[in-house]
Amino acid sequence: MTYQETLSHIYGLARFGMKPGLERIRTTLHALSDPQDAVRTIHVAGTNGKGSTSAFLAAILEAGGHKVGLFTSPHLITFTERIRVNGRELSEQDVISLADRVLSVAPDGTTFFEIVTAMAYLHFAEQGVGPAVMEVGMGGRLDATNIASGILSIITPIAIDHSQYLGNDIGRIAREKAGVIKQGRPTVTSRQAAEAHQVIQR
């Protein structure tokens, strides 16, 4: 497929909508030899400021001499913005190659975001990045990025968002976003509303 044909195919998966869960991404990445296990992932969850926090952190780490992966969504202009290594976007040929490999093993019903997340983990593992800053797509607990164990979790300010999937109050939404917290691994959180702060502490 050409680059445009590849994008058309990937975008076409949006018909499956948002389907929170880790089963499809787990199956896909396992078939690719679990590249997420080779990546030291920093998860950035929250409602406001995820993108800027991810970009700032990636820039700081790169300035400190690290080879840094950055995964963000949505893109502003081109699809290739979503996956970067030391600020360098994917090439169109990278998109074709990664998508072909991921799509060949993804189970039926795999969503657009799951495919793109798998492409990011595969690319970062093969590029030998040090830390990879992964911006959560929606929520946290069941977000495709959360398939990696992670070395650090960051939670930016939490507000009401995606309530049809995450719940209609701050406490329920905070529980979903706090799903990126891993036992024995550090977590950094911004100032939060009292209800969200209590959930994160628990």
State what percent of residues in the chain have pLDDT above 90: 80
Mean pLDDT lowest among 35-39, 41-45, 113-117, 168-172 = 168-172
What pLDDT shows up at residue 13? 85
d(CA 106, CA 99): 10
- Cβ neighbours of 184 (radius 10 Å): 5
The yes-or-no verdict on residue 122 having pLDDT over 80 is yes
State what percent of residues in the chain have pLDDT above 70: 94
Residue with tokens 């959560």: 136
d(CA 139, CA 97): 29
d(CA 126, CA 122): 6
pLDDT, the chain, mean: 92
Tell me: the pLDDT tens digits for 156-192?
Answer: 999 876 555 565 688 889 998 999 999 999 999 999 9
Tell me: the pLDDT tens digits for 58-70?
Answer: 999 999 999 999 9
User: 174, 192 in Cβ contact below 8 A?
Assistant: yes
What does pTM read for this prediction? 0.93
